[in-house]
Chain A
Amino acid sequence: KAGVTQTPRYLIKTRGQQVTLSCSPISGHRSVSWYQQTPGQGLQFLFEYFSETQRNKGNFPGRFSGRQFSNSRSEMNVSTLELGDSALYLCASSLPTGTVNSPLHFGNGTRLTVT
């Protein structure tokens, strides 16, 4: 079974631009979560989608948004990029039952660098 696929792997953008990251979950997984990893801050929760609906949202500004499609694929968008948005963005999927019975399975991430 294929794992979680994130594209692109690396991205370099300029301040003020916007970016869209893509995530394809494991087949059969309907929940997709996004996390931001920065040095010294660990994994910070961005949002979670289930059946095309945002089910949870972390404490990030409105410049960060996401969506989920009917095939469970998800995208996240960051508008008006700032230098501090440079990070590894991780997508994770899980079964509908949630993380009690189904730990999150992570992709390899998209490394975003804002210059």
Chain B
Amino acid sequence: DQQVKQNSPSLSVQEGRISILNCDYTNSMFDYFLWYKKYPAEGPTFLISISSIKDKNEDGRFTVFLNKSAKHLSLHIVPSQPGDSAVYFCAAFPGGSGNTPLVFGKGTRLSVIA
């Protein structure tokens, strides 16, 4: 049972436009969410996170929005750049204990076209 779902396997966006990557989760115990970016032949790198006490977290061109009632989060990249082309993974875990493994989605491949 996929607890973290990224329903779009791929997304293409023009350079300079907004990229919106979506993620849904089913486990209501999840209260801490992260996005990772992965380039080919490299491991995933941490991008941005959000706690359930917030509905938005911003870091430069990257903003993550959380809608707890809908169990939905999204990553916005504005403006999109060719270097953003990568696979993006959404991840979640119940943050209370601090030692529960992260649960990852299957990833969305973003292609930013120059």
Instruction: Give A residues with C-beta under 8 Å from B.
Output: 4, 31, 33, 35, 40-45, 48, 50, 55-56, 58, 90, 92, 97-101, 103-109
B31 nearest CB across to chain A (Å): 10
Residue contact A97 to B98, C-beta cutoff 8 Å = yes
Is the CB–CB distance between B43 and A108 below 8 Å?
Answer: yes
Extra A-B contacts (19), CB below 8 Å, given A42-B104, A43-B104, A98-B99: A31-B99, A41-B106, A42-B89, A42-B106, A45-B101, A48-B99, A50-B99, A56-B100, A90-B44, A92-B43, A98-B97, A98-B98, A99-B95, A100-B32, A101-B98, A103-B34, A106-B36, A108-B42, A109-B43
A22–B103 alpha-carbon span in the complex (Å): 23
Measured CB to CB, the residues of B under 8 A from A are: 6, 32, 34, 36, 41-46, 49, 89, 91, 93, 95, 97-107
B43 & A100 in contact (Cβ 8 Å cutoff): no
Given contacts A41-B106, A99-B93, contact A106 B44 (CB under 8 A): yes
Closest Cβ neighbor of B107 among chain A residues: A42
Residues on the A chain within 8 Å of B32, using CB = 99-100
CB distance from A90 to the nearest CB of B (A): 6
Contacts of A56 in B (CB 8 A): 99-101
- What residues of A have a CB within 8 angstroms of the CB of B46 in the complex? 103-105
CB distance from A115 to the nearest CB of B (A): 21
Minimum CB–CB distance for B73 against chain A, Å? 16
Q: How far is the CB of B22 from chain A (nearest CB, A)?
A: 15
Partner of A33, one of B49, B97, B101, B106: B101
Cα(A48)–Cα(B41), bound, Å: 23
A-B contact pairs, 19 of them (CB 8 A): A33-B101, A33-B102, A40-B106, A42-B106, A43-B44, A43-B89, A55-B99, A90-B43, A90-B44, A92-B43, A98-B97, A99-B93, A99-B98, A100-B98, A103-B49, A104-B46, A106-B44, A108-B41, A109-B43
